[in-house]
Amino acid sequence: MTKTHAVAVLAFEGMAPFELGVVVEVFGLSRPELEDLPWYELRVCAEQPGRDLRAVGGFTLRVEHGLDALDTADTVIVPGVAKAGAEVSPALVEALLQAHTRGARLVSVCSGAFALAATGLLEGRRATTHWRYARTLAERHPEIEVDPDVLYVDNGDVLTSAGSAAGIDLCLYLVRADHGAAVANAVARRFVVPPHREGGQAQFIEAAVGEIGPEDDGVTRSMNWALRHLHTPVSVPALARAARMSERSYLRHFTRRNGVSPMRWVIAQRVAASLPLLESGEGTVDEVSAAVGFDSTATYRHHFTRQMRTTPTAYRKTFTRVPTHP
């Protein structure tokens, strides 16, 4: 029988509920749509369990588990700290270090990076946090390479994400690493968010691979058409025809709605569509590139690396579950 992956997430006095809610939504919600796939076992913990913790917004939360929940966790998530830059509790630092020594994966969201930084595990490594706190993190911990322009950073055993909604990106990334792109996409659909966002903290949200929604306007109709034809040449004139608009009008409406040009959006969808193909281990990178509509493998590799911050080959080695082609 497959061991259930245990996740522990920290709650604390003065917390913003959004980041904690993201972790609970991804790892604590029942997933009957995934049939017999063993899901995560989530425990919310606190340094002082059994007492009311006040959260931003005027409500309180009472937590059952203490830091001993970290003793058996496979993944430990710190969704923030009470005050960015303030001293982190020695008890929490020690619990995080013990969990890491035991082999647990440590994860931070937003200002939670300060707790991971206090352990010393980020020394000499790249990390991120909310852009508001990036300078403070860099000043307090000059030994860390703070990157304020990314959504998350994966160091293998220690992962950090940017602010608030970037926690969704990192949590979906963890699901993808544990269960593959198909499962991560299913979780994203229920979450009603894209399975992957391109770019950094200031970027807009790209549309998910899958139907965009009811075709009650021309732009939506063209996007759904594009998703059905990613394997074929897709051009602005073809998209405008699908939208039943002039090219000039289409470009204006599409960019205003999505914050990105039509062809950049198409490229993002092609890269996203290639992920499950890479994970399947079937076909060469050249064949995957052609299957999702890139006119050359070199172009595919360029856009994949720009969007995913790794190469197609490296991604395949990380996420494939069957023998791969050379």
**Is there a domain that residue 197 lies in?**
no
- Which one has a higher pLDDT value, 209 or 53? 53
Q: 57 and 169 in one domain?
A: yes
pLDDT in tens, 6-29: 999 999 999 989 999 999 999 999
Q: 228 and 150 in one domain?
A: no
Residue 148: is its pLDDT beyond 90? no
**Is there a domain that residue 199 lies in?**
no
pLDDT in tens, 281-316: 878 999 999 989 999 999 999 999 988 888 999 888
Provide the domain limits for residue 124.
6-191
List the CATH number of the domain containing 93: 3.40.50.880
Q: 251 and 181 in one domain?
A: no
Q: 264 and 134 in one domain?
A: no
**Is there a domain that residue 311 lies in?**
yes
Q: 241 and 177 in one domain?
A: no
3-class secondary structure for the chain? Answer: CCCCCEEEEECCCCECHHHHHHHHHHHHCCCHHHCCCCCCEEEEECCCCCCEEEECCCEEEECCECHHHHHHCCEEEECCCCCCCCCCCHHHHHHHHHHHHHCCEEEECHHHHHHHHHCCCCCCCEECCCCCCHHHHHHHCCCCEECCCCCEEECCCEEEECCCCHHHHHHHHHHHHHHCHHHHHHHHHHHCCCCCCCCCCCCCCCCCCCCCCCCCCHHHHHHHHHHHCCCCCCCHHHHHHHHCCCHHHHHHHHHHHHCCCHHHHHHHHHHHHHHHHHHHCCCCHHHHHHHCCCCCHHHHHHHHHHHHCCCHHHHHHHHCCCCCCC
pLDDT in tens, 87-140: 999 999 999 999 999 999 999 999 999 999 999 999 999 999 998 899 899 999
Q: 110 and 38 in one domain?
A: yes
User: Into how many domains does the chain fold?
Assistant: 2
Q: 169 and 53 in one domain?
A: yes
Q: 91 and 49 in one domain?
A: yes
Domain C-terminal end among 128, 157, 191: 191
pLDDT of residue 259: 82
Q: What is the pTM of this model?
A: 0.66
**Is there a domain that residue 82 lies in?**
yes
